[in-house]
């Protein structure tokens, strides 16, 4: 993925070098929430004209030279995102040709379905399907978050045009910026129910927690909220990360 236009001048040559070195690269994503300029919230904050110029020089040629599939810039799920894409396409003047749609959406289930439907209706010429590369229900109670998770994954799995999806939750609950209940791991690195479900396994009974408390001499920490009785899965951050990021390499 080319995250932004910062230090973007070597993107093409870097990807080309990896391909020539034997890497099985089949797709490239372009720009992370380029319409998002609101402080430290993860947006790359790019002008559409700048993004168009970088796309045409660093991303589009990879399709022409190596047949890579190109993912549309992943804008925020807002009218501002739609407006940014419209200005980007205008600036591209026919020189930017993404093959599939890339979606970020943080809302309840009805909002997810509505946004995906709106994007597909707005860009019917994007025929390579949709990748939902970030989705979550922010700052909600655990039961609502788990119900959203299961309903949304079942929905994605039913839709032929949803080719790949990646839940935004591959972190410990104590450091989550979207609420602890979204997280795939508790503060001790144990898989929560959501983390285990995402890996294709059964619920663990491990609760997300928001902080740790020092015990004894201060040499160890335990979650303040503890973990529910149930199977304690020894998790690996690397295993969860591999599950979340697998779509990048498929």
The pair of structure tokens assigned to 212 is 């740790």
Q: Is 97 helix (H, G, I), strand (E, B) or coil?
A: coil
Predicted confidence band at 18 (pLDDT cuts at 50, 70, 90)?
A: very high
**Does pLDDT of 245 surpass 90?**
no
pLDDT score recorded for residue 105: 95
Q: How many CB atoms lie within 10 A of CB 19?
A: 15
| Averaged pLDDT for residues 209-237 | 39
φ/ψ of 55, rounded to 5, equals: -55, -45
Q: Reduce the secondary structure of 158-194 to three states and give it as a string.
A: HCCCEEEECCCCCCEHHHCCCCHHHCCECCCCCECHH
Q: Is 103 helix (H, G, I), strand (E, B) or coil?
A: strand
Q: Are the CB atoms for 72 and 85 separated by under 8 Å?
A: yes
pLDDT score recorded for residue 235: 33
Domains belonging to the chain, first-starting first, are 8-171+237-248 (3.20.20.80)
**Does pLDDT of 247 surpass 80?**
no
| Model pTM score | 0.82
pLDDT score recorded for residue 103: 94
* pLDDT digit string, tens, across residues 134-182: 999 999 999 999 999 999 999 999 999 999 999 999 989 999 989 999 9
Predicted confidence band at 124 (pLDDT cuts at 50, 70, 90)?
A: very high
């Amino acid at each position: 993925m080319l995250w932004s236009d910062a230090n973007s001048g070597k993107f093409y040559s870097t990807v080309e070098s990896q391909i020539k070195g034997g890497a099985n690269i089949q797709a490239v994503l372009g720009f992370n929430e380029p319409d998002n300029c609101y402080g430290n919230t993860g947006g790359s904050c790019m002008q559409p004209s700048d993004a168009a110029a970088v796309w045409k020089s660093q991303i589009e040629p990879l399709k022409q030279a190596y047949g890579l599939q190109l993912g549309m810039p992943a804008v925020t799920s807002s009218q501002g995102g739609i407006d940014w894409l419209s200005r980007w396409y205008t600036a591209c003047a026919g020189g930017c040709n993404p093959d599939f749609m890339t979606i970020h959406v943080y809302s309840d289930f009805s909002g997810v379905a509505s946004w995906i439907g709106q994007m597909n209706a707005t860009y019917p010429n994007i025929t390579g399907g949709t990748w939902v590369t970030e989705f979550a229900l922010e700052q909600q109670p655990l039961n609502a978050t788990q119900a959203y998770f299961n309903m949304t994954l079942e929905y994605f799995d039913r839709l032929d045009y949803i080719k790949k999806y990646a839940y935004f939750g591959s972190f410990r609950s104590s450091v989550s910026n979207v609420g602890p209940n979204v997280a795939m791991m508790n503060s001790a690195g144990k898989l929560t129910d959501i983390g285990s479900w995402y890996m294709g396994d059964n619920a663990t009974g491990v609760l997300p927690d928001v902080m740790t408390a020092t015990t004894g001499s201060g040499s160890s920490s335990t979650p303040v909220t503890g973990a529910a009785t149930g199977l304690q899965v020894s998790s690996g951050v690397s295993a969860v990360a591999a599950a979340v990021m697998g779509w990048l390499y498929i």
